[in-house]
A and B are shown apart, each in its own frame.
Chain A
């Protein structure tokens, strides 16, 4: 655990160093699992960590961590690269693999509901980042020893539907995941709702004013497999989310998640920090 925490602290230190040399831009995405139709601004790079900690009753405590690099290729196309790792108490701290995802907005104007197409490839083993819950994923998957030999190369598709209405965001994700080794399709869902605590901005810059906070909640879980679709032997979570955007600085968010059935972890604690570096290509070119 200590080794992983050291690496995590080093990552955060590097992140803070980058922040020191960057100028501010607002970060985004209020959720941990659910995606909205908010895309990265073109040319901006967001660096973020998403961590999850849990102490399952019948398994060792763990800390899963994903380091995310999100880049706005176009205003309608965002690409993200993740490096994943995890640490399990009394076992080991390991690098678990990588993910590459792309999100594309097919409709270029705002509608009452906005679709986004999402395609992800992941190459992971012993992953505990819980960035999605699909199929019959459950607490029993975490009872074994860390085994990097069990490679999972998976493709994940999502249909993201999202609406902004009177300051509220409503997002719905339908998830389909396929192990490319031949296992059947697995399905899942994620729903999110969020709203800034104040809809108007104050005239002065402030740190603790309500406009900098966004509150919300996520509901996510598995929907079984192609041949056993449904809620049987699936896990589900309800998780309030609170995000704090420091003006001219990083955004921090936390989310205590509560398992809704016996197949779920009783409690998940998620936390993350993100920072957006604006117009990184122009900066590198010195313009």
Chain B
């Protein structure tokens, strides 16, 4: 039975690693479905949304992207054309899915309104 167990563990690890290395190439924008890309930000016009997004950014994002969102330790600078040009729907999709292979975690555990508050803040970055 221990042989069966070892084989099972090996297969699980091999499958996981194979999948992990075969999915995701960092070009996340091309993966966003059209239905997500065109989504509007329901929190965009809400008072205090930028401030709430800034608070969430400090709590969850600043450790990698820096408190000034300029990036840290080779993590992306968010004062970039890529963020400026992205639609709110694309940014929400990235927050929800992450880019796991490239080190960006999924923030699906944050409720959707909080993800939109973060998007509101990100779109306010000059």
Contacts and interface: CB of A to CB of B under 8 A. Distances in A.
Contact of B109 (A72, A74, A105, A164): A164
B98 interface: yes
Interface in A167-209: 167, 169, 178, 180, 182, 196, 199-205
A15 interface: no
A157 interface: yes
Contacts of B112: 166-167, 199
A155 B101 contact: no
Contacts of A196: 111
A110 B102 CA distance: 15
A75 to B, nearest CB: 4
A223 B86 CA distance: 49
Q: Is the interface of A mostly helix, strand, loop or mixed?
A: loop
Given A108-B101, A204-B51, A117 B16 contact: yes
A76 B20 contact: yes
B105 A178 contact: no
A205 B55 contact: yes
A247 B59 contact: yes
Interface in B81-99: 96-99
Interface residues of A, number: 50
Interface residues of B, number: 46
B106 A201 contact: no
Contact of B9 (A105, A119, A248): A119
B52 A39 contact: no
A90 B38 CA distance: 66
Contacts of B49: 203
Contact of B5 (A28, A41, A74, A155): A155
Given A42-B103, A110-B108, A200-B114, A25 B16 contact: no
B45 interface: no
Contact of A75 (B2, B8, B12, B106): B106
B80 to A, nearest CB: 20
B73 interface: yes
B90 to A, nearest CB: 14
Contact of A199 (B64, B100, B111): B111
Given A41-B105, A279-B73, A106 B15 contact: yes
A14 B76 CA distance: 34
Between A180, A211, A247, the greatest number of chain B beta carbons within 10 A of the residue's beta carbon is seen for: A211
Contacts of A166: 111-112
Nearest to B98: A75
Interface string B103-123: 111101101111001000000
A169 B59 contact: no
A109 B16 contact: no
A106 B16 contact: yes
A72 B63 CA distance: 14
Contacts of B101: 75-76, 108
A17 B63 CA distance: 20
B5 to A, nearest CB: 6
Nearest to B49: A203
Interface of B: 1-2, 5, 8-9, 12-13, 15-16, 19-20, 23-24, 31, 43, 48-49, 51-53, 55-56, 59-60, 63-64, 72-73, 96-106, 108-109, 111-114, 117
Given A106-B19, A110-B96, 18 more contacts: A24-B59, A26-B59, A26-B60, A28-B109, A43-B64, A75-B106, A76-B100, A76-B101, A104-B20, A109-B31, A117-B15, A119-B9, A182-B1, A199-B112, A200-B114, A248-B59, A279-B73, A282-B72
23 contacts: A75-B98, A75-B99, A75-B100, A76-B100, A105-B100, A106-B15, A108-B20, A108-B23, A109-B24, A110-B97, A110-B98, A166-B112, A167-B112, A169-B109, A180-B2, A199-B111, A200-B43, A201-B52, A202-B48, A203-B55, A211-B114, A278-B63, A282-B72
